[in-house]
């Protein structure tokens, strides 16, 4: 199945793109998507312990299941205001 990955702020800069499409196995979780990304781009790993994740524009967890067509976002620590 296929998911859209969204990356923001410095994560986007490190990846060189804010939106990527990736094929992941059935039964994949957010963690699976992250593993696919960081295998490709190991520099993203520095955010593993500080980032937040979202599925279809709602906060989620690494263990959450993803489905075909989902949008999975990885978010560095926020700095609004």
Q: How far is the CB of 11 from another protein (least distance, A)?
A: 9
Q: How far is the CB of 67 from another protein (least distance, A)?
A: 18
Sorted by sequence, the CB contacts under 8 Å of residue 76 that are 6+ apart come out as 8, 9, 10, 11, 47, 50, 51
In this structure, how many other beta carbons lie within 10 angstroms of the beta carbon of residue 58? 9
Q: How far is the CB of 76 from another protein (least distance, A)?
A: 6
Q: Which residue's CB is nearer to another protein, number 3 or number 51?
A: 51
User: Is the distance from CB of 63 to CB of 31 less than 8 angstroms?
Assistant: yes
- Give CA–CA dist 67/70, Å, rounded: 6
Give contact residues for another protein (rule: CB under 8 A): 6, 8-10, 13, 50-52, 54, 57-59, 73, 75-81
Q: Which residue's CB is nearer to another protein, number 27 or number 79?
A: 79
Q: Which residue's CB is nearer to another protein, number 25 or number 81?
A: 81
């Amino acid at each position: 199945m296929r998911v859209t990955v969204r990356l923001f702020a410095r994560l986007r800069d490190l990846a060189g793109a804010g939106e990527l499409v990736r094929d992941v196995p059935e039964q994949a979780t957010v963690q699976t998507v992250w593993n696919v990304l960081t295998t490709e781009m190991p520099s993203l790993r520095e955010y593993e312990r500080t980032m937040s994740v979202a599925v279809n524009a709602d906060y989620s967890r690494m263990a959450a299941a993803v489905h075909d067509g989902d949008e999975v976002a990885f978010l560095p620590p926020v700095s609004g205001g």
